[in-house]
Amino acid sequence: MSLAPAPTLSLDDRFARELPELAVAWQADDAPDPRLLALNEPLATELGLDPAALRTAEGLRLLVGTAVPAGANPVAQAYAGHQFGGFVPRLGDGRALLLGELTDVAGRLRDLHLKGSGRTPFARGGDGLAAVGPMLREHVISEAMHALGIPTTRSLAVVATGRSVRRETLLPGAVLARVASSHLRVGSFQYARVTGDTELLRRLADHAISRHHPDAAQAENPYLALFAAVVTAQAELVARWMQVGFVHGVMNTDNVTISGETIDYGPCAFLEAHDPATVYSSIDAGGRYAYGNQPIVAEWDLARLAEALLPLIAEDQERAIELAVAALGEFRPQYDAAWSAGMRAKLGLPDGLDDAVAAPLVEEYLTLLQAGHVDHTLGFRRLSAAARGDVEPVRNLFLDLASFDAWSERWRALAPDADAMDRVNPLHIPRNHLVEEALTAATEGDLAPLAPLLDAVTHPYEERPDLERYATPAPADFGATYQTFCGT
Ligand code: AMP
Ligand code: MG
């Protein structure tokens, strides 16, 4: 038995105290046989937690919510949301709990949250549980996103509960311990708005300003400034997703954060062949959340946030709408600026290059990738070798060599910076076939494939001979039919 002390953790309940209308005090279900599947030691340390203590029996009880630190007040959070365009006024944490907020070693306030911890009053028809595979999937992909420098919620740990979960078959259950700068979402504001209680809406907005966008408090119109700050954060976030080929898969308004962190890794996946129409989610039959739609969908989701905030933006509704529309109008230029800056970096283009030269180079390269069904990740990563003079590795990815050569000649004439490209174009993304392999094995009790996968995706830019397998696209028979499943 380990002699490491039980983790001492001081959790605040600021959300529950400031917004009791959005919080239902609740406890996690019992976990008969908790077993640690993944622990994020660097994150634990960042949070001021001792990894050794988290590995003890008492630590595991904390991570599944059955031992609540003294003074903590776990709650299920209420929120609403547009799901695939249809408004649901009451969603909320059906299978999750906010344990509370902690202050990390850098002095930042972070939510500690559990997912898969049992039914809550928001569970509707759901069982409140989560299976090992999807929780490890969130662990792997959120840590990959973090390593790519993309704002995201983090995974502290995944603990198997020892309880079965009924899906199409019986699966082992797990709880994910998630860390976020908060769990406020567009749907939180929609929920508050629907209550008709403007003072609640104001308290929520003040809470969000204080936690995420403190500069807004000094603005002439703080609530309009809050909205504008969320617009900026989301424009920048979605541009980053697009650059790495990330498909979120379920951009409902309850999955769009106020902080600008990526949240809820349900049916998400990374592109292989570059194609704007790519959809992985089995429930997204209409392709609403296809790769190429993500910027437009983010803008749509932000319009729903604007609607929720209207009573705070101005007393006169017409005036509020006018101000909100103008602020939302910033989304496209901000998205375009973030997108083109990122794409220029991916192509290693020199600073200050005229947009009339850079923009067509970017667009034409994407057209070439799409026409040739070229792997998005390798299509960019291998360009750096070409910038160093070795064109064949990337050229081999294309079918229409004449078009590639014509493009490549123009691009190379600009003297692209290969080293800078290697710092922004990942070699290791969570490849769908390798994620599936690791999750299937873990579901069957074999954790061996998980470690090298995590090693690869948390070192996205590092070329290493031992990780070559993680830099290779799926076999041809895997990709075409690959589907992901939501709410599992
Ligand atoms: P999401 O998958 O994040 O879009 O979840 C949408 C809503 O369904 C949220 O309110 C979740 O809490 C809820 N939900 C998803 N899966 C379950 C489940 N197994 N049990 C209870 N609620 C769930
Ligand atoms: Mg969600």
476 — pLDDT class (breaks 50, 70, 90): confident
Q: Which two tokens stand for residue 265?
A: 């890794």
Whether the predicted pLDDT of 346 surpasses 80: yes
Atom of ligand 1 nearest to the CA of 96: 12
- Token digits of residue 301: 């989701």
Average pLDDT over residues 448-475: 97
Closest CA to 452 of 237, 196, 298, 441: 441
Pair (315, 211) in one structural domain:
yes
Q: Reply yes or no on whether the pLDDT at 116 is more than 70.
A: yes
Q: Name the residue range of residue 126's domain.
A: 14-180
What is the pLDDT confidence band of residue 3, given thresholds at 50, 70 and 90?
very low
| Mean pLDDT of the region 119-141 | 98
Same domain, 237 and 191: yes
Of 296, 319, 339, the domain-final residue: 339
CB atoms under 10 Å from CB of 254, counted, come to: 24
Which of 180, 200, 235 is where one domain is finished?
A: 180
Give the tokens for residue 311.
């009573």
The 10s digit of each residue's pLDDT in 288-329 is 999 999 999 999 999 999 999 999 999 999 999 999 999 999
Q: State pLDDT tens for residues 183-217.
A: 999 999 999 999 999 999 999 999 999 999 999 99
**pLDDT category of residue 2 using cuts at 50, 70 and 90:** very low
Residue that wins the pLDDT comparison between 336 and 487? 336
Total structural domains within the chain = 2
Domain boundary among 135, 163, 180: 180
394 found inside a domain: no
User: Sign of the C-alpha dihedral, residues 349, 353, 355, 357?
Assistant: negative
Residue nearest to atom 16 of ligand 1 (CA): 487
Ligand nearest to C-alpha 484:
1
User: Is 254 an annotated catalytic residue?
Assistant: yes
C-alpha 94 to ligand 1 mean position (Å):
5
Whether residue 235 lies inside any domain: the answer is: yes
Domain for residue 454, yes or no?
no
Distance CA 346, CA 417 (A): 10
198 shares a domain with 173: no
pLDDT band (50, 70, 90) for residue 366: very high
Please give the model's pTM, rounded to 2 decimal places. 0.97
Report pLDDT for 6: 52
> pLDDT value at position 486?
64
Q: Which of 176, 27, 203, 34 is nearest to 111 (CA)?
A: 176
**Do 228 and 152 share a structural domain?**
no
Give the model's pLDDT for residue 217. Answer: 98
Is residue 477 predicted with pLDDT exceeding 90? Answer: no
Give yes or no: residues 138 and 123 share one domain.
yes
* Atom 14 (ligand 1) nearest CA: 94
413 inside domain: no
One domain for residues 116 and 206: no
**Pocket residue to mutate for ligand 1, from 84, 87, 91, most atoms within 8 A of Cβ:** 91
Q: Within this chain, do residues 23 and 172 fall inside the same structural domain, yes or no? A: yes
Q: Which of 79, 93, 122 has most ligand 1 atoms within 8 Å of CB, for mutation?
A: 122
Considering the domain boundaries, does residue 232 fall inside one? yes
Asked if residues 141 and 153 have their Cβ atoms less than 8 Å apart, the reply is no
- Is residue 23 located within the same domain as residue 152? yes
Same domain, 106 and 241: no
User: Of the residues 254, 264, 301, 375, which is catalytic?
Assistant: 254
1 has a pLDDT exceeding 90: no
Is there a domain that residue 8 lies in?
no
**Ligand 1 shell residues, CB under 6 Å:** 91-96, 122-123, 126-129, 250, 252, 254-255, 264, 266, 486-487
- Does 143 map to a domain? yes
149 and 27 belong to one structural domain: yes
Task: Clarify whether residues 226 and 332 are in a common domain.
Answer: yes
Same domain, 74 and 215: no
Ligand 1 atom nearest residue 254's Cα? 4
* Cα 487 to ligand 1 centroid, rounded to whole Å: 6
CA 115 / ligand 2 centre spacing (Å): 10
